[in-house]
Structure 1
Amino acid sequence: MHRIQSCIVTVEEVTRPRRRRAETVERLLDAALETFAEVGFAAASVEDICRRGGFTRGAFYSSFRTKDELFGALFLRETARTLALAEQQLQGIEHESDPVTAAVGRCLSSFRADRSWVLVLTEYRLHAARHPEAAAALLEHSTGVLAQLTALIEDGVARAGLRLTLPAARLASMILALHDGLVVAQATDPVGSDDTSDLERTALLLLLRSAVLPS
């Protein structure tokens, strides 16, 4: 019994620091999102982020080497949440009488563009346009998102018994471009957000109906 208890303690001692580090990273990401949205990526300092999150510089540098690396982690977290929600919403789409309309309705009813994230991502894209290393990292991250969205489209189309009139990756690129453009417009004109949502719904329906056919 003593030996078993010793093993349990050892496991807890190993996992506890990992949990604490994961919690620290999450709080740093939350603080970074708020700070970048408030003052901008370029203007935000490591000290600003640490102050907002209640950390020391040492805590920051134990997890990230640079602000750009921190942004990369933030990008992966935010896009992973969105893609996971999309996958969840598309479950059972094959049982709908009109899978295309159902897919658009389900996703748009669940997704509400986070204004803070839209501001941060838009500004970072401008930053990347002037800094080749940032551009390369952003391209790598974006390529990963495109691949995941492509896989979601291929899976949904196959389950719904449809076929595409163009490569799934091409359709995924169009969807991302459409969404990105409209959420930026919505962020700069909150008053017209309802009109923007209706426009996205209409545009997505037109795009998808031209891109899929019965198999």
Structure 2
Amino acid sequence: MAPLFSLLSLSSIIPSSAQGSGFKSLHSYRSGYFGAAIKLQPGYTAGVITSIYLSNNQDHPGNHDEIDIEFLGTTPGKPYVLQTNVYIRGSGDGFFVDDVPIRRYPRKSDATYPTRPMYVYGSVWDASSWATENGKYKADYRYQPFIGRYRNFRLQGCTIQSPNYCKPPSTSPSGYGSLSPQQFAAMQWAQNNYLIYNYCHDPRRDHTLIPEC
């Protein structure tokens, strides 16, 4: 199991349009608990995404799995929007912010759950076409550099080199894989007060294509 460790702040700077910068873990993981303290840049950051995510695109280009936590840039006076995504073979169990669960992605079928090893990434990049109010506000390079600071990394899990008996740490105080009653109540509070959009509740979506809902 990889240890808990801490690093100095890492700054990521976008050098030009349609580019970005980031980092990647040395090992890929079969399972685990991953996180970091991320300080977002204030002011005008429209069109710019600061993220931490898991992906195996390097090993499976065009057919990869990905689990994202993304902070969508904003304009002065408006809060950042936090977005979570799960992509399966080109199309996590839980997401936490300040140790409060905000979303669960239960394993309802192998077809809708990532099972292949993934690396841990962090990045700051230009997504002006959609990131801020559906692309209404674009990245303005007069405000660069755009900097995301990452520290207190947590990479605790089973790498592809770990023995088969390796088990990832539990996110629940009870030690079980599911959320505790207190955590479940906290997640409901977060969703009731801060959730903007959930594709599972979108009547415009074809729900036969999203069995995980």
TM superposition score category, shorter chain reference: under 0.3
TM-score, length of structure 1 as denominator length:
0.23
- Structure of higher CA gyration radius: 1
TM-score, length of structure 2 as denominator length:
0.24
Structure 1 or 2: more strand by fraction: 2
